[in-house]
């Protein structure tokens, strides 16, 4: 059977695109909010606890970007 010709804006396509868009929004929100917390003086353990992840995970994901953005991360 040949693959179904799909409409990229049909019901199922909308539903799957919603997943992609919500993931992207969640990622953008995480990046922006971690940045805001660290600029407000939060520590890595505090941010990690608020997000429900390990300190290592949040540090690994965000430290380089925040340093590049000029956030002072000493003694956190």
Partner 1 sequence: MVTRLALDARSLFTAAEIEARTNRSPLVEAEHLLLAMSAHPATDAGQVLASAGLTHEALERALATEFEASLAAGGVSVSAGGPPRPSPGPRRRLRLSASFKAAMERSVTAAAGSRQIRPAHLLLGVLGAQAGTVPRALRLAGVDRAGLATLTRQALSG
CA torsion angle 60 26 35 61 (round to 10): 10
Q: Which of residues 11-40 bind partner 1 (CB under 8 A)?
A: 13-22, 24-25, 27-29, 31-35
In the bound complex, what is the minimum distance in angstroms from residue 72's beta carbon to partner 1? 14
Distance CA 47, CA 57 (A): 11
| Other CB atoms within 10 Å distance of the CB of residue 10 | 10
Verify binding: residue 1, partner 1, rule CB under 8 A: no
Residues engaged in binding partner 1 (CB under 8 A): 5-6, 8-9, 13-22, 24-25, 27-29, 31-35, 64-69
């Amino acid at each position: 059977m040949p693959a179904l010709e799909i409409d990229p804006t049909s019901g199922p396509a909308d539903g799957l695109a919603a997943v992609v868009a919500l993931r992207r929004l969640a990622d953008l929100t995480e990046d922006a909010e971690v940045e805001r917390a660290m600029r407000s003086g939060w520590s890595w353990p505090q941010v990690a606890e608020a997000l429900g992840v390990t300190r290592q995970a949040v540090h690994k994901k965000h430290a380089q970007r925040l340093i590049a953005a000029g956030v002072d991360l000493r003694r956190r």
